[in-house]
Amino acid sequence: AKHVGVLALQGDFREHKLMLERLGARVREVRLPAHLEGLGGLVVPGGESTTIGKLAAEYGLDAAVRAAYEAGTLAVWGTCAGAIWMAREILDYRQPHLGIMDIAVRRNAFGRQVDSFEADLEIEGLDAPFRAVFIRAPEIVRVGEGVRVRARYQDRVVFAEQDRLWATAFHPELTGDDRLHREFLERFVAS
Ligand code: GLN
């Protein structure tokens, strides 16, 4: 079986790791390019996208993740800060990022008064609503042609999929609902 990785530079990667392990996956913490060897998927956690971006660039991880994705062997799922890291364009900020996904994001897009909130989302492909936790979440403000929108919150895109790339503005690892982790494993990692 292939492994799944969690980018373990900063942020709440432990919660993702636990959820993936509970689903029976073999999970590897990724801190260096060599740790990508043999991975079918990589989950990039929430946290601080500026910090994640700087550390990833320093360790040569953006080039390595891009190469593995382009080779067709790696799926990448960015959650919250991880989604920001994956976006081609980040509005109003200049920060090192991976930029492989054809989306534009706005950081902290849901306003100061409501830094964090929860909402039940209709997600394309799931047959019942998904309880989503938003923490200083970004909004996906533009999606390119090959990008499928899988969920919106009040008309704003919060889950996009493009080829083997997923971007979710919310934190799917903080509730007991493991349906998205399960789908990611089944589609991109299992074999
Ligand atoms: N606000 C953070 C950022 O812009 C993301 C927050 C999160 O990952 N929960 O990097």
End-to-end Cα distance, the chain:
6
The pLDDT-based confidence of 190 (bands split at 50, 70, 90) is confident
pTM of the predicted model as reported, rounded to 2 decimal places = 0.97
Which residue from 67, 4, 65, 90 is spatially nearest to 40, judged by alpha carbons? Answer: 4
pLDDT of residue 111: 76
What local confidence, expressed as pLDDT, does residue 115 receive? 84
In three-state secondary structure terms, 17 is helix
Total count of domains within the chain: 1
Helices 49-58 and 61-70: crossing angle, nearest 10°? 90
Phi, psi of 98 (to 5 degrees): -70, -50
Residue 52 CA to ligand 1 centre (angstroms): 10
Q: Is 161 labeled as ligand-binding?
A: no
CATH number of domain containing 18 = 3.40.50.880
Residues annotated as catalytic are 80, 171, 173
CB 9 within 8 A of CB 52: yes
Three-state secondary structure call for residue 35: helix
User: How far, in Å, CA of 127 to CA of 147, rounded?
Assistant: 21
Q: What pLDDT sits at residue 76?
A: 98
Q: Which atom of ligand 1 lies closest to the CA of 45?
A: 8
Angle at 11 between CA 50 and CA 15, to 5 degrees: 155
pLDDT in the model for residue 112 = 66
The answer to the question of whether 47 is labelled as a binding residue is yes
The C-alpha atoms of residue 141 and residue 110 are separated, in whole angstroms, by 12
135 marked as binding residue: yes
CA dist 20 → 24, 89, 110, 144, 173 (Å): 7, 29, 28, 29, 9
- Cα angle vertex 32, ends 38, 96, to 5°? 115
Atom of ligand 1 nearest to the CA of 47: 8
pLDDT digits (tens, 9 = 90+) for 125-136: 999 999 999 999
Report the distance separating Cα 76 and Cα 65, nearest Å. 8
Structural domain of 18: 3-189
pLDDT at 113: 58
Is ipTM over 0.85?
yes
pLDDT more than 70, % of the chain? 97
Report pLDDT digits (tens) over 82-113: 999 999 999 999 999 999 999 999 999 997 65
